[in-house]
Every structure is written in C-alpha cells, then in structure tokens.
Amino acid sequence: MGHRDNAVWIDLPGRRRTGGTAARGIAGVLALLLVAALASVTHAQSKGELRVKVTGLQSDQGELRWALYNKKEGFATKDGPIVKGVRPIKNGQCEFAIPDLPYGAYALIVGHDVNRDGKIDENPFSAELKGISNYTSKILWFPNFDKAKFRVDKPSVPVEIRVY
C-alpha cells in the first residue's frame, strides 16, 4: 500500500471511509466545542466582585454600614440600594467583598454606626463618619451618583473609601 492518508477500509458493514476524513471531521467538531466553551466562559465572567476597603474610621466601636447603588434615581436614599450590609471594624478600617455583581456602573456609601442603633446620623458634623466612592472629603450637600460611580467590568474590582 502507498501513503496512509489515502488508505481505504471498511469499518462498519457497507460503509467505506477514506483515511484522514474522519480525523478532519473530529477536529472540526472539537474546534466548534472549544469556541462554544470559550463563549460560555466569557458569558459566565460577565459578573464581578467588588473588593471594598474603608479607612479613616476613628475607632473599632460600633459597626460599618454600607449600601450599593446602581442608578441615579434613588441614590443615597433608604429605598435606593440594590444591596446593603453591616461589617465589623478592626484597627480603624474595614474590608469586605460584594460578589456576583453584573458588569455595570455602581456607587457605594458607607457609614460608621458608632452607637449600633441601626442607622447613620445624617448630620455632617456627627461622630458617625461617612464616605462615598470617589469622594475625597466630607460633603455638606446631597451626593452625586455620576461623581460617585465606578465600573465593575472585570472579575475583581478594588474600591477604597475614606470616611470623613
């Protein structure tokens, strides 16, 4: 016999195959499966995790309350957050993660609930310090979503907020 790629054999009753054809067919199917797998991985990664670090807390007393917003309407209101929570404070700071966030724009507000009464004193001069993503000083007016927003567009996004 000559070259193996041109060999002919019968593998099932009545079916003829030419060498190399099956291998090319299998390679094509495998390539399609690989493309489909990569597409599903990309789709699965359309969610990210927000890694938050809050600094400037004056004591470890009380707890840190946080609220995450994803739109201008309802920003910095009690009914506006898409998710909120409470975390302990250690050594004047607090670190936590917010997982499974769809890629998009968000803004985060944090507050030090010193007396653990379940709310943050809204007086800007109170001992309960507050912080907003992308703000670098104490604010004395209503915060702006467009200034506070940041993007979650990769698997892990760090955000650091200082309270004032």
Residues 24 and 52 in one domain: no
pLDDT in the model for residue 139:
82
- Residues 94, 27, single domain; the answer is no
State whether 71 and 132 are in the same domain.
yes
Contact (CB, 8 A) for 68 and 148: no
What mean pLDDT do residues 6-27 have?
A: 54
Q: What is the pLDDT of residue 128?
A: 95
Residues 39 and 73 in one domain: no
pTM attached to this predicted model: 0.73
Q: Give residue-wise pLDDT tens across range 108-142.
A: 999 999 999 999 998 888 889 999 999 999 887 88
Asked if 106 and 146 count as a contact pair (C-beta separation under 8 A), the reply is no
Mark whether 68 and 38 lie in a shared domain: no
Residue range 52-58: average pLDDT?
Answer: 97
The CATH number of the domain where 155 resides is what?
2.60.40
Same domain, 22 and 56: no
Separate counts of helices (H) and strands (E) for the chain: 2, 10
- DSSP-H helix ranges across 91-154: 145-148
Q: Using one digit for the tens of pLDDT, what is the confidence trace for 23-35?
A: 555 555 555 555 5
Give the pLDDT confidence score for residue 40 in this predicted structure. 45
Domain hosting 155: range is 48-162
Residues 6+ apart with CB under 8 A from 32: none
Number of compact structural domains in the chain: 2
Q: Are residues 53 and 115 in the same domain?
A: yes
Average pLDDT rounded to a whole number, residues 58-79 = 97
Does 83 lie in the same domain as 26? Answer: no
Greater confidence (42 vs 25) lies with 25
Tell me, yes or no, whether 28 and 63 share the same domain: no
